[in-house]
Amino acid sequence: MTFLVLNAGSGSHKCSLFHVGGALPVEPLEPAWKAVIMDTSPEGAPEGLSLTIEWERRKTEQRTLPISLSSRERVEYLLRLLREATPSISEGATKIDAVGHRVVHGGIEFDKAVVVDDRVESAIQRMAVFAPLHNPVNLEGIQVARDTLGPEIPQIAVFDTSFHRTLSEAVATYPGPYSWLEKGIRRYGFHGTSFRWACGQASRLLDREQDSTLRLIICHLGGGCSLTATIGGRSVDTTMGFTPMDGIAMCTRSGTLDPGILLYLMRQSPDIEGLERTLNKESGLKGLSGLPGDTRILLPEANKGNRRAKLAMDVFVHHLQAGIGQMMASLDGRPDAIVFTDAIGEDEPLVRSRACEPFKFLGLEVDPEKNATSPLDADISLPGGIVRVLIVKSREDWQIARECHALLSAEP
């Protein structure tokens, strides 16, 4: 089977092509082709969009695109590149069996991947009020793929929120009026596709697959950041809630705030759109530092004595440590491992070591030499450590392909 995976997001657009022959392998396949459009270059330069194209043999090409490209135009551009790079698809010799889409918010309606039809599209649109930066872009990606590749190819939605459908009612409910819960105001949780892969990969690294007692704390640290506690592969708590703005501090998002701050700001200037922009785009690492919210920039600046860069990183780490402590409270026992994944989690040794420092009393210690090399899909704990520390390479694209394969294989 051949699967195209499209992840149209708020800050990036990613496209990957997978060829799966026969049964689904345990180890992840590398995409035959992939391309990523980022809002900025790695250095944070604002003059254009950064495009990276990669082929199966690891040949990589970099381009700069106009910053003015709309989300629809970015998806159209990626699909045009795909056809240029794979003539067998454009000529019909290779059939795409399905296009898998990451969809951020599926509410409580979806607990697994589904083939997109009118009902599913309506639900994605309806949930856009909870994820206004993500769901409309996700839906647009579905529509552009269908228009470009043809209506006969199944479009499959893989929902981030579905992984967290196992949260208990007590964890999912906010302590406001009960009428809020009746209106759908509850903790949904996000980054579920990333957590699902990291959870399974961690269990394989620990040789504890199918272990219903395995306790993990998974730290997804990228442009958006959230933590999840799992027991036996089931989500039991998570830091993000009603929207992807909740939880720990992030690159440009504030994370959890005293709601009194929002009331105060609204009384000063009742500009809802401006406040939403501030919370989503001008807060977190970026807002505190005055620099791009990118740890590759902030950590060197902090080491040079930039006070605001240091403050931003200190706040980020403090919230990360607090989030780990919060997740421990829901595990009903000591975690078996802390798992770091996604860009910051995979690439920043200092963030990992500082995040773990307060928990040495639990037998959680990072091996400085292993940590410094940032090995992927590896254990970086000190020998004999009680709580293991793992780095798992984020493979959201492969996880989406896996779920597409499972869905199509299950159909009669």
* Catalytic (active-site) positions: 160
> What CA–CA distance (Å, rounded) separates 2 from 15?
13
Per-residue 3-state assignment (H helix, E strand, C coil) for the chain: CEEEEEEECCCEEEEEEEECCCCCCCCCCCCCEEEEEECCCCCCCCCCEEEEEEECCCCEEEEEECCCCCHHHHHHHHHHHHHHHCHHHHCCCCCCCEEEEEECCCCCCCCCCEECCHHHHHHHHHHHHCCCCCHHHHHHHHHHHHHHHCCCCCEEEEEHHHHHHHCCHHHHCCCCCHHHHHCCCCCCCCCHHHHHHHHHHHHHHCCCCCCCCCEEEEEEECCCEEEEEEECCEEEEECCCCCCCCCCCCCCCCCCCCHHHHHHHHHHCCCHHHHHHHHHHCCHHHHHHCCCCCHHHHHHHHHCCCHHHHHHHHHHHHHHHHHHHHHHHCCCCCCCEEEEEHHHHHHCHHHHHHHHHHHHHHCCCECHHHHHHCCCCEECECCCCCCEEEECCCCHHHHHHHHHHHHHHHCC
Phi (first) and psi of residue 172, to 5 degrees: -80, -15
